[in-house]
């Protein structure tokens, strides 16, 4: 990042919030020394983290708009959405696997929302930086969503008999983010590639198969710092 950069705003979901799944407590907890905190300390920049667990891009766009109306002084805005958007209502899928099910945010709406966010930021002379999605671990995530009684057989039927469909479906959203970054001339931090460069990227994920663990947050912070050193 150039020396003129002072303040970075972050809008995202639980990944950027630093939410971890604790299998011993069987609940989600918050990692205080998350990737944002680590990067902030290393780079000497102020990060304002507006991320919240469970947030989709539509809600994130609403919050971004409200936040910018109050304060548009950030030099950079990191945008990280997609993990909740690509997800299905697995209870409904388990109850009726042959019905039509749509994700929380259909891909075309996800794309439109992301484009509008980028345009809004650029209009305010705030540099948007997009983030690809950390790769989920399909088998681990499948076991997680079915751990409390949802039908593995019915959900697997919905997935066409291939649990890896969960991975490929999420990857479509990450690929869309990459494409939009290219089309809009926006910078991108490729977290997905950083994880996939590890022979066992699952070691960077929590037991739920989707949230980066502490090692994952260290990996993410390194990617942020690496990006900063070249821009």
Q: Is the pLDDT of residue 159 over 80?
A: yes
> Tokens standing for 84?
């909740």
> Tokens standing for 120?
């809004």
Q: What are the boundaries of each domain within the chain?
A: 7-230
| Nearest alpha-carbon partner for 114 in 196, 186, 220, 32 | 186
Least confident window among 97-101, 157-161, 225-229: 225-229
| DSSP-based three-state secondary structure for 16 | helix
For 118, phi and psi rounded to 5 degrees?
Answer: -60, -45
pTM of the model: 0.95
pLDDT band at 3 (very low <50, low <70, confident <90, very high): very low
CB atoms within 10 A of CB 56: 21
Q: What pLDDT does residue 229 have?
A: 73
The DSSP secondary-structure symbol of 172 reads H
Q: What is the per-residue pLDDT across 95-147, written as a single tens digit (0 to 9) for each?
A: 999 999 999 999 999 999 999 999 999 999 999 999 999 999 999 999 999 99
Q: Label residue 26 left, alpha or beta by phi (over 0 means left) and psi (-120 to 50 means alpha).
A: left
| Nearest alpha-carbon partner for 191 in 229, 215, 213, 222 | 222
CATH superfamily of 7-230: SGNH hydrolase (3.40.50.1110)
């Amino acid at each position: 990042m150039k020396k003129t950069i002072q303040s970075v705003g972050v809008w995202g979901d639980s990944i950027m919030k630093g939410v971890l799944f604790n299998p011993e407590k069987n609940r989600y907890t918050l990692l205080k020394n998350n990737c944002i905190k680590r990067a902030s300390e290393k780079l000497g920049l102020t990060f304002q983290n507006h991320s919240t667990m469970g947030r989709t891009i539509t809600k994130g766009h609403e919050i971004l708009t409200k936040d910018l109306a109050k304060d548009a002084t950030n030099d950079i805005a990191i945008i990280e959405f997609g993990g909740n958007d690509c997800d299905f209502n697995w209870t409904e899928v388990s109850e009726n696997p042959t019905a039509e099910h749509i994700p929380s945010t259909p891909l075309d709406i996800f794309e439109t929302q992301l484009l509008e966010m980028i345009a809004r930021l650029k209009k305010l002379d705030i540099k948007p930086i997009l983030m690809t999605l950390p790769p989920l671990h399909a088998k681990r995530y499948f076991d997680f969503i079915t751990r409390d009684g949802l039908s593995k057989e019915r959900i697997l039927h919905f997935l066409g008999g291939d649990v890896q469909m969960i991975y490929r479906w999420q990857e479509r959203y990450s690929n869309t983010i990459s494409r939009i970054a290219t089309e809009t001339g926006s910078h991108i931090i490729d977290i997905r590639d950083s994880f996939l460069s590890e022979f066992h990227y699952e070691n960077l994920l929590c037991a739920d198969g989707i949230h980066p663990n502490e090692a994952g947050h260290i990996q993410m912070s390194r990617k942020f710092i690496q990006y900063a050193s070249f821009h």
